[in-house]
Structure 1
Amino acid sequence: MFSLKQWNQSPEWQNWVGYETAQPQQKLSPSSVTELQEIIKKARADKQRIRVTGAAHSFSGCAKPEEIAVSLHHMRGLISVDKDAKLATLYAGTYLYEIGDALKEYGLALENMGDVQAQTLAGAVSTATHGTGITLGSIANQVEVWEWVDGCGEIHTHHRGDPETDELGDALHASLGMLGVFTKLTLRVVELYGLKEDNQLLDFEEGLECFYETAYSHRHLEWFLFPGTNKIQQKTLTMIAPVPMTAKQKRRDKFDSIVTLNGAFYLLCELARIKPSLTKKVSAISASAIPNTKREGYSYEVFPTPRGVKFNESEYFIKLADFDECISEINHILLADNKGSHFPIEVRTHKGERGMLSPTQGEDCAVLSFHVYKGMDSEPLFMWLYEYMKKWHGRPHWGKVNKLSNAELQMLYPKLDRFLEIRRQYDPDNVFINSWLNEKFSIL
């Protein structure tokens, strides 16, 4: 979890895996919107640039602070709830792991979450962070009202409007922080619910044969395909009555987190790092160790998965209709050559949603996430992935490693130029642009 003390004490900023680093000239953590406005106004006057760094959980350089780093750590918490309208307003610096308990007091919950909950709400919304579910979208898709401070230090509020005419809402949907700094976000929430999780190990062909049936008959479906093994871990989540997770299950989760997921798996990862020729063997051992487990609890207790073993990640969205052919080809390729990675490939589903920079571009998608253990060379896998995904018109998750050029992004995002026009209205002096954003969007 993010530590403001460590953030302040270290002269260096780095992301979660440690591959993106910077030495910002200033680190600032405002306690109010007024204080934030003054920081932005001064930065603009001094011709300096700002990035809000959140919990540093992006793998890309999206949040890299090259001059001024800002943390919203002091701007957290639930502000108000409208139970009848199913709306909850929160400060944008609130961490995802804080939201579940806060909403539970009102009998409410987030519609969907991912399996990582360390991020800030602002960061999750800005990058369209998502979970899985063929009828469900990202956390950004749950936003009904945005409040933000623009590059001139002015505050704005926008309510999501008509899908046919709300260009600003579609620009804010996944804005990468380029229109300004979010201060408050109003989310569409749902009645408190529970989830039942089931895990099982399947042969690849067995899982693929019933993939769509399983996806549509469960609220959430997630796969973990172990490279070079022809094996998958299939995880399903089914909605149940809202009951808290038992103390016994919490103890078991903690044990699994320390001993199994982040203990034994860590040792296997180190073995693969020290002797890369064993990556395929390590992948097979990992697959064979998957237990057929079951978990139950409040949704926000079941969603997250501990991530103590660090890795680098690249992720692509493809049309759901292309999934069978694409994943079959990937499995076949990796059976012959696992590209130096033993980490399971994560497969999720995602409903098409609005947003000029949404990787779904309005289409229901399958989302494929590729991981490489920290300390191992990710280039063989990620370069192959970059080239391979051209065949499927794959669009990258903005918070993950992204090797696409500006010209390639222009082809994949037809409304990119219009997004940049809107961005200029709210940040005419490019206060919120860093080198990574300039590389991807050719702004400076």
Structure 2
Amino acid sequence: MLLMTERRKKWTNWSGSVTATPELVKYPTTIDEIVEIVHNECVIGGKYLRMVGSSHSFTPVAASDQVLVSLDGLQGIVSMDVDQATAVVWAGTKLKLLGELLHESGLAQENLGDIDVQSIAGAISTGTHGSGHRLGSIATQVIGITVVNGLGEVMECTEQSHPDVFKALQVSLGTLGIIVQVKLRLRKSYVLSYESKRMDLSDCLTQLPGLIERNRHFEFFWFPYAEACQVKLMNETGSPISINKVSDFVNERLIENTLFGLLSGMCRLFPAVSSTISRISASSVPIMTKANYSHNIFATQRTVRFNEMEYSLPADCMTAVIREMREAMEREKFHVHFPIECRYVAADDIWLSPAYGRDSAYIAVHMYRGMPYERYFQVMEEIFLRYEGRPHWGKMHTLKAADLKKRYPMWQHFEEIREQMDPNHVFLSPYMSELLEDEPGRTEIT
């Protein structure tokens, strides 16, 4: 079967922070085609290969100047067991489509993040997460993975059949192989109530223990140079679906996207107004409630583009870190108006998960696309690192292998599995080599 191929077409990620010009872009639609690509282009051809889903990572994790494989042709449900609440899905399936397909059969994922444009493989491979102190990242929902390794071999892995390989694959950054199918542990469809409200940040921090414990999902957004913050609460409910399309349109389309986009453009032209815009945004936080099926509640539309850095920290560090961040903002007077997103995620046992071995607080900082972010992110990162921070793999950070390996107790075990799965390093781009190898330099294929 002929594979769709494009040559020397420029690729860029969602925010525009990363570009590449791959020699070949492949769009496989079967596992056999993927095996053929790995064998012909990498094992024989000596090229390295990276995979791309929705290009939503802010780092060059998907970038390739040699071979880029798009998973867009691998979408949909492969098989489903409604009674056991499991499903095998193609790796390129976008989370929005997945939620809709599962719901048609009365099933749902137990948790999602607030963006649903990513592919399921991209989401798990980078440790993408939602909120909820009793709930893990999306990768914790995975119970089986089918992958084409660096030798072109197809492997079906579970925690029972390949315990070490499976733990490495759950968050693997695409360095162990091309994930082609994912088996998910699901649950019956359920309705979530959603509440958005304003609180003073000081009150929110004081009430953190209760807000965390009483709610299935709790997150908050605090605005630089403002006192008010937005608190979002989501809980399972037996109440009927209750939505207001007009209110949703006004809040989510007009205010949070169209108006915020216009204000962001003003900040880019006149950076000195950023603090004022931040305070205006804080005072405009929507106060609302609604209820809907979970896949319709988790995600929010994002049309205003930005760059982002996010770190995982020990859960009990949230308040101390925020205080240091506020002090740094007052001292440095950064021109920033985007709110800081704060969430909690349960500990897991996935080797390269930022939440490995500890209940985690996640803090994300953003800067509007086109505005300088380097100094702002640098100062925030220095704070995160003092508190044993681990970066989100799909978000901006400056760490390399030498420092990363100190933050992950199972790093060496992952490296051993990577050598088994990809002995010729066909999945190591220059960026991935810097991320994973103490002495960067991709091994030549022989």
- TM-score range (shorter-chain normalised) is over 0.9
Amino acid at match of 1:27: V
Gaps of 5+ in 2: none
Q: Which residue of 1 aligns with 2:191?
A: 194
The alignment's TM-score, normalised by the length of structure 1, stands at 0.94
Amino acid at match of 1:112: N
Q: Which residue of 2 aligns with 1:49?
A: 48
Amino acid at match of 2:427: F
Q: Which residue of 2 aligns with 1:97?
A: 96
Q: Does residue 168 in structure 1 map to residue 165 in structure 2? A: yes
Contact 2:174–2:427 (CA<8 Å) still a contact in 1? yes
Change (3 A) 1:40 1:243: farther
Q: Does residue 110 in structure 1 map to residue 109 in structure 2? A: yes
Deviation digits for residues 93-126 of structure 1 (CA, Å, limit 9, x no counterpart): 1000001111112211000000000000110011
- CA distance in structure 2 between the aligned counterparts of 1:37 and 1:242, rounded to whole angstroms: 48
- Give the C-alpha shift of residue 337 in structure 1: 3.8
Q: Which residue of 2 aligns with 1:155?
A: 154
- Give the C-alpha shift of residue 424 in structure 1: 1.2
- Give the C-alpha shift of residue 331 in structure 1: 2.7
Deviation digits for residues 391-428 of structure 1 (CA, Å, limit 9, x no counterpart): 10100000000201221112111221221111111111
Match of 1:276 among 268, 271, 276: 271
Q: Does residue 227 in structure 1 map to residue 224 in structure 2? A: yes
Deviation digits for residues 296-335 of structure 1 (CA, Å, limit 9, x no counterpart): 1110001111110000000001101222222222233334
- Give the C-alpha shift of residue 255 in structure 1: 3.9
Spell out the pairing of 1:309-328 with structure 2 (5 A cutoff): 309-328=304-323
Gaps of 5+ in 1: none
| SS class of match (1:182) | strand
| SS class of match (1:343) | coil
Q: Which residue of 2 aligns with 1:17?
A: 15
Amino acid at match of 2:383: Y
- Give the C-alpha shift of residue 437 in structure 1: 0.8
Amino acid at match of 1:344: P
- Give the C-alpha shift of residue 72 in structure 1: 1.3
Contact 2:325–2:380 (CA<8 Å) still a contact in 1? no
Q: Which residue of 1 aligns with 2:77?
A: 78
Change (3 A) 1:416 1:195: same
Deviation digits for residues 125-161 of structure 1 (CA, Å, limit 9, x no counterpart): 1111110000001111100000000111110011124
Higher mean C-alpha deviation, range 323-332 or range 37-46: 323-332
| SS class of match (1:387) | helix
| SS class of match (2:299) | coil
- CA distance in structure 1 between the aligned counterparts of 2:296 and 2:7, rounded to whole angstroms: 32
Q: Which residue of 1 aligns with 2:24?
A: 26
Change (3 A) 1:309 1:361: same
Contact 1:171–1:356 (CA<8 Å) still a contact in 2? yes
Higher mean C-alpha deviation, range 168-177 or range 319-328: 319-328
| SS class of match (1:202) | strand
- CA distance in structure 2 between the aligned counterparts of 1:227 and 1:29, rounded to whole angstroms: 43
Q: Does residue 185 in structure 1 map to residue 182 in structure 2? A: yes
Q: RMSD across aligned C-alpha pairs, in angstroms?
A: 1.8
Amino acid at match of 1:54: G
| SS class of match (1:116) | coil
- Give the C-alpha shift of residue 293 in structure 1: 1.2
- CA distance in structure 2 between the aligned counterparts of 1:97 and 1:304, rounded to whole angstroms: 8
- CA distance in structure 2 between the aligned counterparts of 1:130 and 1:390, rounded to whole angstroms: 20
Spell out the pairing of 1:32-431 with structure 2 (5 A cutoff): 32-44=30-42, 45-161=44-160, 166-241=163-238, 243-244=240-241, 246=243, 249-431=244-426
Change (3 A) 1:280 1:159: same
Contact 2:325–2:383 (CA<8 Å) still a contact in 1? no
| SS class of match (2:351) | coil
Deviation digits for residues 346-392 of structure 1 (CA, Å, limit 9, x no counterpart): 00000001111111121001000000000000101111122222210
The alignment's TM-score, normalised by the length of structure 2, stands at 0.94
Identity %: 34
| SS class of match (1:332) | helix
Contact 1:245–1:301 (CA<8 Å) still a contact in 2? no
Amino acid at match of 1:158: C
- CA distance in structure 2 between the aligned counterparts of 1:8 and 1:261, rounded to whole angstroms: 37
Change (3 A) 1:357 1:258: same
- CA distance in structure 2 between the aligned counterparts of 1:242 and 1:21, rounded to whole angstroms: 46
Deviation digits for residues 233-274 of structure 1 (CA, Å, limit 9, x no counterpart): 00000111385564xx34543343432111110111111111
Amino acid at match of 2:14: W
Change (3 A) 1:148 1:251: farther
- Give the C-alpha shift of residue 430 in structure 1: 1.1
| SS class of match (1:94) | coil
